[in-house]
Homo-oligomer: A and B are copies of this chain.
Amino acid sequence: MTINESIGFIGLGSMGKPMAENLLAAGYRLRVFNRSPDKAASLAEMGATVVSAPADTAETGGIVMSCVADDDALETIVGRSDELTERLGQGGIHVSMSTILPETADRLSRRHAVRGGYYVAAPVMGRPDLVKAGGQSYYVAGNAKAKERIRPVLEKIGAQIFDFGENPADANTAKLGANFLIAASIEAMSEAFALVEKNGVDPSALHEALSSTLFACPIYQNYGRNILDAAYRTPLFKLALGLKDIRLISRTADASGTPMRFASVLKDRFLSAMAHGRSDYDWTGIAAEIRDEAGL
Contact = CB atoms under 8 A, between A and B. Distances in A.
B294 A215 contact: no
Given A184-B188, A188-B180, A260 B194 contact: yes
Contact of A196 (B125, B177, B293): B177
5 contacts: A167-B200, A174-B206, A217-B220, A259-B268, A275-B295
Contacts of A181: 188-189, 192, 210, 215
A236 interface: no
A258 to B, nearest CB: 5
Contacts of A268: 259-261, 264, 293
Interface residues of A, number: 77
Contact of A178 (B165, B170, B209, B253): B209
A230 B212 CA distance: 27
B205 A174 contact: yes
A163 B204 CA distance: 12
Contacts of A262: 184, 187-188, 191, 262, 265
Contact of A214 (B164, B184, B188, B217): B217
Contacts of A249: 195
Interface string A247-259: 1010011101111
Contact of A209 (B162, B185, B217, B247): B162
Number of copies of this chain that the complex holds: 4
Contacts of A263: 191
A267 interface: yes
A34 interface: no
Contacts of A265: 261-262, 264-265
B188 A185 contact: yes
A160 B260 CA distance: 36
Contacts of A274: 257, 295
A270 to B, nearest CB: 9
Contact of A217 (B139, B177, B217): B217
Contact of A271 (B189, B191, B257): B257
Given A195-B258, A262-B265, 9 more contacts: A174-B196, A177-B206, A178-B214, A188-B188, A195-B252, A254-B271, A259-B269, A261-B268, A274-B295
Interface string A143-173: 0000000000000000010111101011001
A46 interface: no
A216 B218 contact: yes
Which of A202, A216, A254 counts the most chain B CB atoms within 10 A? A254
A219 interface: yes
A209 to B, nearest CB: 4
